[in-house]
Amino acid sequence: MKSYEVNFDGLVGPTHNYGGLSYGNVASQSNSQQSSNPKEAALQGLAKMKALMEMGFQQGVLAPQERPDVAGLRNLGFSGSDAQVIEQAAKQAMPLLVASCSASSMWVANAATVSPSADTADGRVHFTAANLNCKYHRSIEHPTTSRVLGAMFADQKHFAHHAALPAVAQFGDEGAANHTRFCREYGEAGVEFFVFGRSAFDTRYPAPQKYPARQTLEASQAVARLHGLSDDGVVYAQQNPSVIDQGVFHNDVIAVGNGEALFYHEDAFLDTEQMLVELQGKLAKRGGNFKAICVPRSQVSVEDAVRSYLFNSQLLSRADGSMLLIVPQECQNNDRVWQYLQGLTSSGGLIREVKVFDLKQSMQNGGGPACLRLRVALNETELAAVNPGVIMTAPLYDTLTQWVDKHYRDRLSETDLADPQLLLECRTALDELTQILKLGAVYPFQIN
């Protein structure tokens, strides 16, 4: 049976703004308080989805969340009508309002961790929504994320959904941004690669000193248990604490994997050689031939990797066995990174082509091509069981671009977030979107 890796890209929400909310994310903090363009951001993301679809890749879309999160603000003591809640928050705690308006759910690499049916004990595709409890503005996402994923992958014969892990520091879980899967073919059993920044209980593992390590070993182990993964199909690796302190807040900022290949920076991990040996050995037992592509620090520094988001790229398999790398325009703008990529593609190795996309609106908030997509490996039967409304087609692309043009603002500043009309605009847009994507009632304003 044929199998696919489907990229479900996050649709940028109507409240996309530069709140500078993500401590440890250099781009997010450096662009704080600038005016954003939600319409441009959403259209840039849709253009990438359309381009990949036209290249022959399976492509889907994942809906944004309701913002501002009025229910969350009520839980924090603000009261009255929706407009009064927003007004009080703006006057008394503007940072909370900004956090409650974040469109960070666009980065669906953090939505969940996904294990395909070929790896799991019960032969179903498993989803665990990420608790994202390191940052308030992201910790409020997982209830709606779970409902949206449940509406997309509803057939319990093929799909299993798990609630987010306990929302405590010991089980900090950032989803697929710290998870990669290696395999010979997408439909065959593979090796799932979990990268963590620290251990909650084992002091033998060093921790970063400047920025927080968002993913714990214990969270990764819990997800592997929930998904019914066998020990011979899992590898755990620790991210290098020193690169976290340089702004590498997720593993997908310093490494990306696909198929049998891992594309990574020389300084990405601790105990790299031991990790590579384990990956190679376990993948070999499952019929695969592991390939490591190391980018030396002498050619690309960690600073250049963070500023260009070289590794926050999409590594895609093509029919001829080669791979295509999807990178943000910032890679082309960085002379050292672009020189490295030109040498890489001309060397005759596995990565033969690089395609550049303009994702400036997302990049300025700290998310590149890999942040915008959740990868789900599906066989033909499972793909047929996915809600067809979320699979990208040319007509859906046209409908969504018209929807964005109709509902999104082309400029948003911090003061605009205090406008109660923005909430009404967002709800009107999302109510229409659930009909377009055939999701049913998934948002709080539709349920309550």
The single residue of 134, 331, 371, 426 carrying the catalytic annotation is 371
The single residue of 161, 179, 250, 407 carrying the catalytic annotation is 250
8 Å CB contact between 115 and 109:
no
Active site residue 371: yes
Nearest 5 degrees, angle CA 160-CA 156-CA 217?
0
Secondary structure class of 356 (helix, strand, coil): strand
**Within a 10 A sphere around the Cβ of 257, how many other Cβ atoms?**
24
First to last CA, the chain: 42
- Half-sphere exposure of residue 252: CA atoms within 13 angstroms, side-chain side: 29
Active site residue 414: no
Q: Which of 290, 243, 238, 281 is nearest to 265 (CA)?
A: 243
Distance of CA 411 to the CA centre of its chain: 24
CA distances to 9, 129, 175, 219, 444 from 124, in Å? 22, 16, 18, 21, 28
Tokens of 103: 């469109």
Residue 118 backbone class (left: φ over 0; alpha: ψ -120 to 50; beta: rest): alpha
Residue 266, phi then psi, degrees to nearest 5: -55, -30
The single residue of 174, 260, 278, 414 carrying the catalytic annotation is 174
Active site residue 66: no
- Residues taking part in catalysis: 174, 250, 371
